[in-house]
Structure 1
């Protein structure tokens, strides 16, 4: 089925989907994690809502010297362009974050095939990680992306058995 895919997760600085402040990417090839990327990103105007800081712990001070999304897109694009891309709650959140952030920076959105582990399992990420004994530092983009990659791997294994 999909032996190669990229799991993604974004954390945002505030209620706008284009306010990405952290990117987590995990590349899986033939069921093995081959690459991981975690990048702090300076959101537009380095502006944060307090309740979002309370969720992920990322602050304006932490991203003051971080690059903006348009400066790191060249690192992210190969993980996404023409790939199978999976996210937990991807259709409701992560895929919109990507699309709206690319639009904000006037960057063309690449083609990819989206998959959602929330849609597959119907449960939140923390509950699934507990159920499947997957390590999770929730709301750290790389940890969330790794957990999503593992959940998709389990799904693919069950689909192919």
Structure 2
């Protein structure tokens, strides 16, 4: 079987996993980029406050998502783009948490997803001082991209997995997971009811890192 998967990256408005404000998607077919997509997302009510720290990281402000579709309207597009692929993300726990969080907050049924973490794959493949996305991507020969742009980050993540698969002589995502002992895991739903209020998240005195 060829190396097929979809790399995905989210940026969030605040610390809520339901506050996705941007998504980037890159489809890999036979180890090569076959398709790219990205768009803004309007976070759901109750999760839609844009915190200063998050904006400093990705540069997205509330005005940027005005007119964008919300999670409930856009999730079907994400599912259709992935088309049953394993979802690959750098720090997949964060990005899969965004999927589960967005579905929980909007009452949207969670589709059947499985994921592989490129951060964990990089740790089992390279010897680096840091395994953050720019450093791991550089080890894979992919550099000079706009970190924290969702589309660029998804492509960097894809480059890591393609390169790692070549080094481990793995022809599928599942084979790469077996070679690196990084599990392909199902995405679990979150237990959360849709919110109707819109409380302002409290500011932190120091920035929180939400993804790599």
- TM superposition score category, shorter chain reference: over 0.9
- Contact 1:2–1:156 (8 Å) recurs in 2: no
> Which residue number in structure 2 is paired with residue 131 of structure 1?
139
> Which residue number in structure 2 is paired with residue 147 of structure 1?
156
Deviations 1:5-58 (A, max 9, x none): 000000000000100000000011111211111111111244211110010000
- Contact 1:81–1:110 (8 Å) recurs in 2: no
Question: Is residue 121 of structure 2 the alignment partner of residue 120 of structure 1?
Answer: yes
Structure-1-length-normalised TM-score: 0.92
- Which structure shows the bigger proportion of residues in helix conformation? 1
Paired with 2:34 and 2:140, the residues of 1 have a C-alpha distance of 22
- Which structure shows the bigger proportion of residues in strand conformation? 1
- SS of the residue corresponding to residue 44 of structure 1 reads coil
Question: Is residue 109 of structure 2 the alignment partner of residue 108 of structure 1?
Answer: yes
> Which residue number in structure 2 is paired with residue 94 of structure 1?
95
Q: Which runs of 5+ in 2 are unaligned?
A: 124-130, 171-212
**Pair 129,146 (structure 1): closer, same or farther in 2 beyond 3 Å:** same
> Which residue number in structure 1 is paired with residue 71 of structure 2?
69
Paired with 2:104 and 2:147, the residues of 1 have a C-alpha distance of 27
CA drift of 1:81 comes to 5.2
121-130 vs 10-19, which deviates more?
A: 121-130
Query: How many residues matched?
Result: 160
Paired with 1:124 and 1:99, the residues of 2 have a C-alpha distance of 23
CA drift of 1:133 comes to 3.4
- SS of the residue corresponding to residue 22 of structure 2 reads strand
> Which residue number in structure 2 is paired with residue 48 of structure 1?
50
Paired with 2:30 and 2:139, the residues of 1 have a C-alpha distance of 24
**Pair 18,2 (structure 1): closer, same or farther in 2 beyond 3 Å:** farther
CA drift of 1:102 comes to 1.1
Paired with 1:59 and 1:16, the residues of 2 have a C-alpha distance of 16
Deviations 1:46-77 (A, max 9, x none): 42111100100000011112111111122111
CA drift of 1:2 comes to 5.8
Deviations 1:87-123 (A, max 9, x none): 00002x0011111111111112122221011111131
Q: Which runs of 5+ in 1 are unaligned?
A: none
